[in-house]
Amino acid sequence: MKEQKNILRVLVAESSSFARLVLEDILSAASDIAVRGLAADGDQLLQLLQSHKVDVVLASSDLRHNKQLFSFKRIFSEHPVPILMLVEREKLTLELLKEAIELGVYSVIVKPDASSRPNYRSIADEIRLKVKAVKESEYWNPEKRLRMLEQEVKLLPSVSQKSRSTTADTIIVLGASTGGTQAVEAIVKQLDPDLRAAVLIAVHLPSKFTHSFARRLNELTPLQVSEGRSGLIPKSGKIIVAPGGRNMVVHSVMGNAANLKIGFAEDGAHGYDMPSVDVLMQAVAKSAARQVIGVILTGMGKDGTAGAGAIFKRKGGHVIAQNEETSAIFGMAKSAIESGHINQVLPLSQIAFYLNRYVAEQQQQVSITDSDT
C-alpha cells in the first residue's frame, strides 16, 4: 500500500516504557503523524533508523547510551534526520543547547516535571505542534535555531560572557592531498581525548568522499568529528572536516572576532585544490584565535605554502611539516619548508604527540598568565 503523502513519520525514544506509550498515543492522535517505532535507548534508536525511513526523531536527551549526546552524534553522522529533543529543565544549559543544535536538533521540549514519569499529556499540543514544525523549520541553520530556542526556553541570563564564547582558544589546521587521508587518520587516532583545541581538516577530496572520511575518523577517536557545515563552532575537542568541492573558512560571530563559526568562501579561487588548505589556513590566521597551529602533510603541489606563511607570521602561530621520509608525495610539505615558514619538520608518527604536548604547554602558560592578571 502506497504511503499517504504529507504524513510525518516519527521515531520515539524514551527510557520509560510508560512515557513511550503516552508519546505514541499523543502523536497518533494527529492524522498527519505516524509513529514508526519506539526505542528504549540510544542503541535501539540507531537500530530502528537503519530499518525505518522517518522524517523526525522525538528523543529524550537522557536516554541510556546517549551520554554527552553520543547517540545524537551518531544519528548526525550515520542517519541524518532532524531531532526534537526532550530535556529536563534543570539540565537545560546554553552549552547543551549549542551542542544539540550542532547535532541536528531543530527544537526542544522542556519536560513538564523532573519525575521519572513526566506528565506529557499536559503538553500534548506542544509536542504535536513541534513535531509538525519540522516541515517549516530551517533546522540546517544553527544560528537561527539557537536564537529561536534561547528565546523559547528562556534560558537564564546568568551565563557569563566567557562561557558563551565557545570557540576554542587553540585551532589546529591539518592540510593534505595525495596520501593525506591515511596521514590524517594516523594523527587523529593519536590525539589526546582531552585535547583543548579545535581541529580543522582540509584534504583534496571530491564531495562524495568527505562524508565517509569524517565517519571513518569518528571511529578512530573519542573526539567529536563532523563534516563542515555553515554555523558550526570550532570548539575544543571538536574535529571538523572540510566538505569536498568547497573551500571551508571561519567567520566571526556577530562581529566578535574571538567567536568563530564555520563558513565557506564564495569565490572559485583554488579550484584545482579544493578544499583549499591555503584558504582555510589564511582565514584562521586572520581570526582572533589565541593560538593557531598549521600542519602541512603529504601531497602534490604547493597548496598550504601561503597558508603556512600566514600562520607563521601571526602572533601565536606555529607551523609543522611532515618530513620527506614519511610522505607519500613530498610536494606540499617541501614547498612550505622551502618558504622558510615552518617551525618543525617531523615524521608522521611524531606529529600527534607533538601537537598534544604543544597544546598542553600553551594552555598551561595561558592559565598561569590568567591567574597573574
Segment 26-65, tens digit of pLDDT: 999 999 999 999 999 988 999 999 888 888 999 998 888 8
* CATH class belonging to 8-153: alpha beta
Q: How confident is the model at residue 25 (pLDDT cuts 50, 70, 90)?
A: very high
Q: Of 357, 302, 352, 297, whose CA–CA distance to 328 is shortest?
A: 297
Q: How confident is the model at residue 162 (pLDDT cuts 50, 70, 90)?
A: very low
Which residues carry out catalysis?
177, 204, 303
Over the stretch 236-283, which tens digit does the pLDDT of each residue have?
Answer: 999 999 999 889 999 887 666 668 989 898 665 545 678 999 999 999
Answer for the pair 173, 281: CB distance below 8 angstroms, yes or no.
Answer: yes
Q: How confident is the model at residue 5 (pLDDT cuts 50, 70, 90)?
A: low
pTM: 0.59
**Average pLDDT in the chain:** 85
Q: How confident is the model at residue 151 (pLDDT cuts 50, 70, 90)?
A: low
Over the stretch 170-228, which tens digit does the pLDDT of each residue have?
Answer: 999 999 998 999 999 999 999 999 999 999 999 999 888 898 899 899 999 999 999 99
pLDDT at 159: 38
Is the pLDDT score of 152 beyond 70? no
Looking at residues 327-350, what average pLDDT do you find? 97
* CATH class belonging to 165-372: alpha beta
Domains of the chain by residue range = 8-153, 165-372
Looking at residues 93-110, what average pLDDT do you find? 79
pLDDT at 335: 97
Any idea what the Cα angle at residue 48 is, between residues 43 and 23, rounded to 5°? 90
Q: How confident is the model at residue 229 (pLDDT cuts 50, 70, 90)?
A: confident
SS (H, E, C) the chain: CCCCCCCEEEEEECCCHHHHHHHHHHHHCCCCEEEEEEECEHHHHHHHHHHCCCCEEEEECCCECCHHHHHHHHHHHHCCCCEEEEECHHHCCHHHHHHHHHCCEEEEEECCCCCCCCCHHHHHHHHHHHHHHHHCCCCCCHHHHHHHHHHHHCCCCCCCHHHHCCCCCEEEEEEECCCHHHHHHHHHCCCCCCCCCEEEEEECCCHHHHHHHHHHHHCCCCCEEEECCCCCCCCCCEEEECCCCCCEEEEEECCEEEEEEEEECCCCCCCCCCCCHHHHHHHHHHCCCCEEEEEECCECCCCCHHHHHHHHHCCCEEEEEECCCCCCCECHHHHHHHCCCCCEEECHHHHHHHHHHHHHHHHHHHHHHHHHC
Q: Of 255, 261, 268, whose CA–CA distance to 233 is shortest?
A: 261
Is the pLDDT score of 139 beyond 70? no
8-153 and 165-372 agree in CATH topology: yes
Handedness of CA 16, 19, 21, 24 (dihedral sign): negative
Q: How confident is the model at residue 116 (pLDDT cuts 50, 70, 90)?
A: low
